[in-house]
Amino acid sequence: MTCIASISTSQTLSRQVSKTDYLKRMKAVNWTKKLAEDAFIDPVKELQSYVATPILSDNEKLFTPSDEAVKEGEGVFQSVKLIKSVASLDKLPDENVPEVAVIGKSNVGKSSLLQALFSSTPNIVKTGKKPGQTQTLNFFDVDGKFRLVDVPGFGYNMPANYHELVEGYLTSRKNLCRTLCLKSGSTRYPVDKLGKDMISEMGIPYVIVLTKIDRFSPHLLLKTFLETKQTYIQTGGNCFPQLFVVSSLTGAGIPFLQTFIAHITGNLKSPMFTVQEKELAKESPSIFAVY
Ligand SMILES: Nc1nc2c(ncn2[C@@H]2O[C@H](COP(=O)(O)OP(=O)(O)OP(=O)(O)O)[C@@H](O)[C@H]2O)c(=O)[nH]1
């Protein structure tokens, strides 16, 4: 995996873990190398191993890429450039490639997640311990194929024009194909009410990503996972019915999310739709749209 090397050289993450540590931990619970690798790609598999009942129904397991598709997805992220940082809506770049925005509370790990997705381009994203480091919309071009957009967080130290800039961008951007809405894996905040209300009011299609999963025990994480699912997915709305979980520190879950982004921006050759997804897409096309 390419992502680990640059994460372990990152100055910003406070604790250094690595894929090797992750695999060692899995070996300690008697996982084979293949199972451990699978859980690294999609950590939900690890969570499932702690309980006998399925934590996902078929309708919540729509995105299940093959090993080849994951390789293809990771490969899409090789060439990344910061093209523009924008503080007002009249300065936005053109709309001719699909965009995926990353939103969430201040300090939830948006910039770190982008850096982990862009691990083949070290130090391209600024991250910080203090909440409110990101003050502009930052547009990152991925190989000329699509863009990821780092969005200022809500909660602490928001830019003065936050509502105009962020809500204006999210609700009016024609090439915005999906929004990744980040939420901490911590059980201390089972519902991010502000974020949920904001995104529901805007009515845009989004995907929930639980962050910083390396900080929590599998049992706590499982509790957050189930509560989050109940809050965001089982209550309907514009949320993609599958939760993603990541650690930008270990890289766990990053290849899976890279593959999903490659898929929704129309950059995966491998066909990806399950029968369930096709059925659900008939009712809510925007949640399942592929650019
Ligand atoms: N352990 C751990 N720490 C993380 C992870 N992701 C981010 N962090 C830490 O969380 C803090 C905030 O990370 P950022 O990526 O700057 O958060 P942000 O959401 O972009 O913050 P704002 O600019 O305030 O909106 C930093 O100290 C990161 O090192 C993770 O996966 N694991």
Indicate if the pLDDT at residue 6 is higher than 50.
no
Give me the DSSP letters along 44-86. HHHHHTT-SS-SS-GGG------HHHHHHHHHTTS-EEEEEEE
Indicate if the pLDDT at residue 7 is higher than 60.
no
Sheet with 80-86, strands from edge to edge, namely 80-86, 137-142, 146-150, 99-103, 176-184, 206-211, 244-245
Q: What are phi and psi for residue 123, nearest 5 degrees?
A: 55, 30
- The atom number, within ligand 1, closest to the CA of 128 reads 16
Q: Which of 13, 124, 221 to mutate to test the pocket of ligand 1 (most atoms within 8 A of CB)?
A: 13
User: Could you read off the pLDDT of 170-224 as tens digits, one per residue?
Assistant: 999 999 999 999 998 876 655 566 677 888 888 899 999 999 999 988 888 999 9
Residue located via tokens 């910039």: 111
Residue located via tokens 């949320």: 239
Q: What is the ipTM of this complex?
A: 0.98
Q: Could you give the domains of the chain?
A: 36-290 (3.40.50.300)
Whether ligand 1 lies within 6 angstroms of the CB of 249 is answered as yes
Report the C-alpha gap between 137 and 222 in whole angstroms. Answer: 32
Q: What is the pTM of this model?
A: 0.89
- The atom number, within ligand 1, closest to the CA of 14 reads 29
What does each C-alpha distance from 207 to 28, 69, 260 come to in angstroms? 33, 20, 10
Residue located nearest, by CA, to atom 28 of ligand 1: 13
User: Could you read off the pLDDT of 261-270 as tens digits, one per residue?
Assistant: 999 999 988 7
Burial of 76-109, coded b for 16+ CB within 10 Å and e otherwise, reads: bbeebeeebebeeeeebbeeebbbbbbbbbbbbb
157: confidence class by pLDDT, cuts 50, 70, 90: confident
How many angstroms separate the alpha carbon of residue 212 from the centre of ligand 1?
Answer: 8
Residue located nearest, by CA, to atom 10 of ligand 1: 109
The confidence score (pLDDT) of residue 187 equals 61
